[in-house]
Amino acid sequence: MLLSGCAALKGAGGGARFSDVSALVAAAKVPDNAAAVVLLREESIVVRSARTSTDPITEFHNHEVIKVLSEGGFDAAKVRVVIPKDGELVELAARTVGPDGTVTPVDASAMQRTRTVVEGSVGAEIRFFQFPKVEVGSILEIRYTTRTTELFLSWAGETASPYPIATYRADVSTPSNVTFDFLLNGTTAPLQQVPDPDGRQRVVMELHDLPALDEDEAFAPQARTGAPWWIYRITEVRSAKEGPQPGLVAWDRAVPYALYEETVENKPVAGLPRLSAADCNGAAECLVGRALGELRGFEWTGFSDELELREPQEIVQSKTANNIEKALLLWSLLRSAEVDARIAVIERSPGYPIVKTFPSGAWFDHALVYLPALNGGTFVDPSCEACGVGQIPEWDVGVEALVATPRGDRWRIDTEWLPIKGAPLPQNDHRLAYAVTLKDNGDAEVEVEDVVRGEAAAFTALRARISDANEVAHEWQHFVAPRSRAARLDASTAWSCDRAQGRCRRTAKLTIPAYATVDGARLLVPLDLLWSPIEEHIAADVDPATRITDIEIAHGLTFIEELRVKLPSGFSAKALPAKVDGKTDFGTATFDAVDKGTEVAVVRGVTLGLNAMPKGRFAQLVRLFEPYRLARSQSIELTR
């Protein structure tokens, strides 16, 4: 459970009032096989004061009630409360209601605290706790409020959840001197304009029976293709002292001009690298290459959920940068070398469809740099550290960018929509190699080499940077568990990454007693070391009818497994599994085993094209991968 005072808010409330959980349970429709159900989720944004543009008070009220239905729902008991850098937690109450009605309150003072720039929450404070005494049938309830002295000109909310939601409510209200628009997508549910005696503007919406929407590495959740989501924007703030202050009502102002404040208006920051046009005799492509090389000195901390950045001095001192900060550093470096460079903002692919008739900075969560004079117009994405000039990562493919050109100050910005074009990375795959030395008693020694290249390597490098030794050990245990219950992990290495090459590698050595089955003069060698994201994300017993609306290939996938079995002395291959060669317009699934005399080489591979499969074809996906999946349940027969 993630509760955020920054982007992923869940609730509306006040005081320590708790719900009538018996009424919520009675009203909820619980889908079959659900691990947990969100009985109620409420999300409220309340602008308390905005007398001038410099004294706003905004509160975020959050409330969520979850019932645990099986052990698979125990993860809901783990809570992270995210508080923005300039915000405060002004109220928190949480409790566990046991199956017998026993209430156990959460001690909020015992929450662990940390600050982070990872996962997009720039300088945020994160508080952790776990609901106590959780068992199947428990109900978990939390209600909290954060407050900030910032007026959010735009905000986006979504209904996505790994568990089905029985009731979802959103509520936005502002003082009478603040006017806002509200856009609801993905549903025909009505918006309710609520009269207020104090003249406040208030909009409320309520949704029911929303399906579970899991997000994983291979596939996008339905939220990115059709689940309800909403966005609001402030169109005007009226002040007796300052007069009308415009909000985000046109794209030239919806572009987050604050990004430019850190580069247009700031003075040079000590320690920030600078380039000179003389470094490359003014050649733009050379200068871009130099600038990207400088930026590799700033470790990438991942994608921000919003267009957020820290002060330049803080970025320089930390030697880290998120995706937005990387773009701004590149822009600043190129401007210092007199290169015509412009900031471009996007919603990463596939993302929510941007409604161009509703300008808002909340649409965007990523930034690039556009060079209009280089090769007829070139986009550069510094978050892809392996990309050269003219290359783009797949999260930019098929996306239109809003390119912004400042004209001297933050209120004078020209904008235009341009399609992002560029070549993909030549090496973008995940390869697993197993070298199995088999003994005649069936025991095996296995050497594992795990290599990730391309965009996925960036995320692997990020995990490696923030993982300690315990987390590395846990990753390897997670790796071994679905492949062999008997395997012993004898040695392993952490990920070693070359960020410039976009390549990460790790290795391990395993001992597996009785790996092969001894049957007289025969050895039956299993293939269950083969285990891919397909096995993880498309369970064999999934009913395609239940997944027909939520499948879209969010990330291109090429996953290759190679299993080389060195035969014991005196043995030869008698029977090999049948070849598999499946192809569709959205991907391939292959399997082959080859007798090479002293060893048998098995190769299994899967490829999926980015955004290649439209909704409603999950059944076809299952049919494609069923032979691929069944191949790992077969065996190689060896005889003396």
Among 303, 294, 364, 302, residue whose Cα is nearest residue 329: 294
Helices (H), 186-283: 251-254, 258-264
Fold for the domain defined by 2-246: Immunoglobulin-like (2.60.40)
Q: Name the CATH architecture for the domain at 429-639.
A: Sandwich (2.60)
Summarised one tens digit per residue, pLDDT across range 505-537 is: 999 999 999 999 999 999 999 999 999 877 766
Instruction: Provide the residue type at 419 as one letter.
Output: P
- For residues 21 and 28, the answer to whether their CB atoms sit within 8 Å is no
Q: For residue 198, what pLDDT band results from cuts at 50, 70 and 90?
A: confident
Helices (H), 413-557: 455-466, 469-480, 533-537
Among 251, 300, 545, residue whose Cα is nearest residue 400: 251
Summarised one tens digit per residue, pLDDT across range 420-448 is: 999 988 788 999 999 999 999 999 999 99
For the 252-419 domain, the top CATH level (class) is: alpha beta
Among 272, 387, 261, 371, residue whose Cα is nearest residue 319: 272
The arithmetic mean of pLDDT across residues 130-142, rounded, is: 94
Summarised one tens digit per residue, pLDDT across range 470-504 is: 889 999 999 999 999 999 999 999 999 998 888 99
| Least confident range of 3-17, 229-243, 477-491 | 3-17
Stated pTM of the model = 0.78
Residues 6+ apart with CB under 8 A from 491: 508, 509
Domain boundaries, the chain: 2-246, 252-419, 429-639
Q: For residue 10, what pLDDT band results from cuts at 50, 70 and 90?
A: very low
CA dihedral 452, 457, 462, 465 (to 10 degrees): 50
CA dihedral 406, 407, 411, 414 (to 10 degrees): -60
Helices (H), 418-576: 455-466, 469-480, 533-537
- For residues 20 and 103, the answer to whether their CB atoms sit within 8 Å is no
pLDDT of residue 329: 87
C-alpha 297/C-alpha 303 separation (Å) is 18
φ and ψ at residue 47, rounded to 5 degrees = -85, 110
Among 505, 510, 489, residue whose Cα is nearest residue 437: 510
